[in-house]
Amino acid sequence: MDLRHAGISLEDIRSGKKTAIAGALNLLENRKPDESGLAAELIEALTRIARPRRHVIGITGPPGAGKSTLISRLIREYRSMGHGVGIMAVDPSSRRSGGALLGDRARIEHDPGDAGIFIRSMAAGRHLGGLAWRTRHCLTLLEAAYDRILLETTGVGQSETEIEQVADSVVYVVQPGSGDSLQFMKAGIMEIPHILVVNKADLKNPALKAFHELQGVAGLSGPREDGWTPALIRVSALEGWGQDQLVSALEDHYRFLSAGDLEKRRRRHRIQWAYLLFLERFGSQGAERLGGEERIFKRLDGLDVSNPFSALHELAQDMART
């Protein structure tokens, strides 16, 4: 079966038709083997029509930091700039039942009648690391339909690392007076976020305290290895200030990336993705057979990874040869 027979129109996706986007997401999330060929085909097509000026922004931070409220403000800013916004909100799944309450949608203020906004909630499932198993698949779709893509995850340790592997820019949100900033420093992830936000900055003293604590953190005082100096911003989503600064910091980072490593970064993300697809298919035993993670990454680096599924195909042939 091909895409057209499956009722999927790339043209409709590109023009932001919500029924088309929703239908394609349902397909991309599907784990039935007979659907996966179609999904691979769709992803290949989507990578060809990705929006050239797209910006994928990961927003993470501990529960209660106000990520959803912050996203509401970003939506408003981006919409007033004329950008379409696609949002993917990942919630943790219950360990016990595998079920999930997807509550972010309720907290993201938006006009449901606005044709330029699309919000999809996903459950992280049993996949460790804070992203859902199909997040990458689904992001590809939003990247073809919207200029700004916001990915929300709850920061519980590993997710910051994983969000770094899919987003162009990573925003880490803390709330004052919660010990979030200390947590952040202890977590050893200071190198990850490009922008740090002290949310709820209307809480005057605790907010200043958190601000100064973060300012003191190594990595914020000067440029990082990649040459980017992380931005530290105070936002009060409640009183409605600071979000414009956040937007301009994001635009700065995007310009910084575009002038330098953006394509390299995205290529690295796809190599990572191809490797995950390989693991999904062949497991860690398969990885051993091909000489381990490092060897596989090197191999992938020599391949065209614009479509991770064709890279996976190459690796599968390697497997057949061993």
- Residues within the interface to other proteins (CB under 8 A): 18-19, 22, 25-26, 29-32, 35, 64, 91, 93-94, 96-103, 105-107, 109, 112-113, 118-121, 123, 125
In angstroms, rounded to a whole number, what is the distance separating the alpha carbons of residues 27 and 16?
A: 17
Q: Strand runs (DSSP E) across 124-194, as ranges?
A: 148-153, 169-174
Q: Which CB sits closer to other proteins, 94 or 248?
A: 94
Q: Which CB sits closer to other proteins, 19 or 258?
A: 19
Distances (CA, A) of 3 to 17, 118, 136, 145: 16, 22, 19, 17
Shortest gap between Cβ of 111 and other proteins (angstroms)? 10
Closest CA to 156 of 243, 93, 207: 93
- In which element (H, E) is residue 103 found? none
Q: Which CB sits closer to other proteins, 58 or 86?
A: 86
Other Cβ atoms closer than 10 A to 303: 17
DSSP class of residue 206 equals H
Q: Using an 8 Å Cβ cutoff, are 6 and 41 in contact?
A: no
β-strand partners of 152: 59, 89
Closest CA to 61 of 179, 175, 164: 175
Q: Which CB sits closer to other proteins, 32 or 321?
A: 32
Q: Which CB sits closer to other proteins, 161 or 178?
A: 178
- φ and ψ of 161, to 5 deg: -65, -40
Shortest gap between Cβ of 133 and other proteins (angstroms)? 11
Shortest gap between Cβ of 22 and other proteins (angstroms)? 5
In angstroms, rounded to a whole number, what is the distance separating the alpha carbons of residues 262 and 258?
A: 5
Shortest gap between Cβ of 214 and other proteins (angstroms)? 22
Shortest gap between Cβ of 2 and other proteins (angstroms)? 18
Shortest gap between Cβ of 234 and other proteins (angstroms)? 20
Q: Which CB sits closer to other proteins, 97 or 205?
A: 97
Q: Which CB sits closer to other proteins, 64 or 291?
A: 64
Shortest gap between Cβ of 224 and other proteins (angstroms)? 34
The pair of three-digit structure tokens given for residue 186, joined into one six-digit string: 């202890």
Strands 55-60 and 169-174, how do they pair? Answer: parallel
DSSP class of residue 229 equals -
